[in-house]
Homo-oligomer: A and B are copies of this chain.
Amino acid sequence: MASRQKTSRKAAGTKAAIRRPQARAANGRAQSGDTGDDIGLDALVGHAGYAVRRFQLWIFQDFIKTLATVDIRPTQYSVMTVVGANPGLSQMAVAKRLGIERARLVHLLDSLEERDFVSRIASATDRRSHALHLTARGRTALAQFKRLAAEHERHVAEKIGKENRERLLQILACFT
């Protein structure tokens, strides 16, 4: 135990030993055989943020796994989808539409351009901005991505139920 005590664990052992008086002796639970399933969450249940965080974690992992063969992540997919549906958009417009910072979009487009999915074309009307387009390769690739994304969406429907998924989309439509 030497290393754990002498290293930088600021106050774990020490403080705890001092503050003992008020330490309620672990109300019946303590560290017995906690499988992690019988632990109450108290106020946490009923918090939308907590449920959404867990859900988003699950849904992103499934998306990444389902599109692992093509190595496309959710944000990259969203960028290509928007650009594909609206060719010629500026980076600013895409960033604003997707709720991404334009600073972040720079790197996203760098990688997508390296893979020859997207191209930044100098705008004719505004020499500051770039008109974004899918390349020919990007268009055929996006078609495949959409098939895989649809498969991912089926996973979601299996997980929470087909009608629940649609209800969810309807509830959250104001954020898209």
- Minimum CB–CB distance for A94 against chain B, Å: 8
Please determine whether A97 and B52 come into contact, CB atoms closer than 8 angstroms: no
Q: Which residue of B lies closest to A94 (CB)?
A: B39
Please determine whether B127 and A97 come into contact, CB atoms closer than 8 angstroms: no
- Name the interface residues of A1-57: CB closer than 8 Å to any CB of B: 1, 10-13, 15-17, 19-20, 22-27, 29-31, 34, 36, 39-57
Q: Does chain B have a CB within 8 A of A108?
A: no
Please determine whether A81 and B114 come into contact, CB atoms closer than 8 angstroms: no
Q: Does chain B have a CB within 8 A of A160?
A: yes
Q: Does chain B have a CB within 8 A of A70?
A: no
The interface of chain A, by Cβ under 8 A from chain B, is 1, 10-13, 15-17, 19-20, 22-27, 29-31, 34, 36, 39-60, 63, 74, 78, 81-82, 84-90, 92-93, 96-97, 99, 110, 113-114, 119-123, 125-127, 129-131, 133, 135-136, 146, 149, 152-153, 156, 159-161, 164-165, 167-169, 171-176
9 shortest interchain CB distances as A-B pairs: A26-B88, A42-B85, A36-B96, A51-B172, A54-B175, A34-B93, A30-B88, A164-B171, A16-B121
Q: In the complex, given contacts A34-B90, A160-B171, A167-B167, what are 19 additional A-B residue pairs having Cβ atoms less than 8 angstroms apart?
A: A1-B127, A10-B114, A11-B114, A15-B113, A16-B130, A20-B121, A24-B87, A24-B133, A30-B131, A31-B125, A31-B126, A34-B93, A39-B89, A43-B149, A44-B82, A48-B156, A48-B165, A49-B60, A51-B172
